[in-house]
């Protein structure tokens, strides 16, 4: 029986996390979910960087002097307005864009999923809190897509979905089963 938190495993052995999902079809489904959520974050980065006109018009692109995080932060009106104002500056823009890029690349590559899951979940939590109170005209006054995105990040990390169609096994050989996995 494998242990729950080994640092490294011997060739031919598995960790507790690797034993959670044994079905090939389920592992492939988790890998697809991981790649999709990675693309969501990477696309947001590219659109905000280049201003492709989907969520960010060209004139507000980061490469054209736009401020990807500041516009959102300055528009916060809820109870956490003051909390997030500390990020309404170029450093906040850098952190936001670096986060989107890092989370997207990690998820698509399948390496560094734990860090991406923690960082992405924090980003989703902050965005959720920034939008409080949620609009009563929406479909659900308590949960929204931020919760779904955060859970997909977490599920990807805890099921080692990067081992299927990703660099997860190779990365694990470099960092072991540490928090960097």
Nearest in space to 37 (alpha carbons), one of 96, 97, 124, 95: 124
Nearest in space to 110 (alpha carbons), one of 36, 168, 38: 168
Domain-located, residue 8: no
Ranges of the chain with pLDDT below 50? 1-9
pLDDT of residue 18: 62
Domain-located, residue 143: yes
Give, in order, the Cα–Cα distances in Å from 48 to each of 8, 25, 80, 103, 165.
39, 35, 24, 15, 28
Domain-located, residue 98: yes
The parent domain of residue 33 ranges over 23-173
Domain-located, residue 152: yes
Distance of CA 140 to the CA centre of its chain: 22
pLDDT of residue 16: 60
Domain-located, residue 3: no
Domain count, the chain: 1
Instruction: Judge contact between 2 and 13, C-beta under 8 A.
Output: yes
pLDDT of residue 137: 61
Domain-located, residue 7: no
Domain-located, residue 18: no
């Amino acid at each position: 029986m494998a242990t729950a938190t080994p640092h490294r495993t011997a060739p031919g052995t598995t960790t507790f996390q690797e034993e959670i999902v044994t079905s090939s079809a389920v592992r492939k489904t988790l890998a697809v979910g991981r790649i999709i959520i990675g693309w969501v974050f990477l696309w947001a980065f590219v659109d905000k960087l280049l201003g492709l006109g989907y969520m960010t018009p060209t004139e507000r692109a980061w490469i054209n002097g736009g401020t990807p995080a500041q516009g959102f932060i300055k528009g916060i009106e809820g109870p956490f307005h003051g909390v997030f104002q500390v990020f309404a500056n170029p450093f906040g823009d850098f952190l936001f864009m670096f986060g989107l890029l890092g989370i997207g690349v990690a998820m698509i590559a399948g390496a560094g999923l734990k860090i991406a899951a923690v960082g992405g979940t924090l980003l989703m939590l902050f965005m959720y809190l920034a939008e409080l109170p949620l609009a009563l005209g929406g479909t659900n006054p308590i949960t929204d897509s931020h919760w779904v995105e955060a859970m997909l990040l977490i599920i990807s990390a805890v099921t080692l979905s990067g081992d299927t169609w990703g660099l997860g096994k190779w990365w694990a050989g470099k960092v072991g089963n540490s928090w960097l996995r």
